[in-house]
């Protein structure tokens, strides 16, 4: 079955640590996106990539980094520079925005 797989489902980070969230899709979509969602809040765009080896900052890119070495994969690293990383992280993919996005099941990151 085609879809987007995010892992892990739950992640705990200590202060000062970098952590990487995985996102893999087998939908053959060109574009992939990372969003952050805080409790009771909407989706905020962190980074997006519309083609391999290229990506752009979204609205809240500070403290995050990404790579897009393969079409199927778009990992997100939450660095120690991100001071408030506790949130629900969602990865999405799509061919064109006009077709809508498909979302992964999300990763819930908590700072301990």
Quick one: which of 45, 52, 61, 111 contacts other proteins (CB under 8 A)?
A: 45
Quick one: which of 63, 65, 106, 111 contacts other proteins (CB under 8 A)?
A: 106
Q: In which element (H, E) is residue 92 found?
A: strand 87-94
Q: Is 90 in the site for other proteins (CB under 8 A)?
A: yes
Quick one: which of 11, 27, 31, 111 contacts other proteins (CB under 8 A)?
A: 31
Ramachandran angles phi, psi of 99, nearest 5°:
-100, -5
Number of amino acids touching other proteins (CB under 8 A): 23
CA 99/CA 103 separation, integer angstroms = 13
């Amino acid at each position: 079955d085609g879809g987007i797989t995010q892992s892990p489902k739950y992640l705990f980070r200590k202060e000062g640590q970098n952590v990487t969230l995985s996102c893999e899709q087998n939908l053959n979509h060109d574009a992939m996106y990372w969003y952050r969602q805080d409790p009771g809040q909407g989706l905020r765009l962190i980074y997006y990539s519309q083609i391999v080896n290229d990506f752009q900052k979204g609205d809240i890119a500070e403290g995050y980094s990404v790579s897009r070495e393969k079409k199927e994969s778009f990992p997100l690293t939450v660095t120690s520079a991100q001071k408030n990383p506790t949130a629900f992280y969602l990865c999405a993919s799509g061919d064109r925005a006009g077709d809508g996005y498909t979302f992964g099941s999300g990763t819930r990151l908590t700072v301990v």
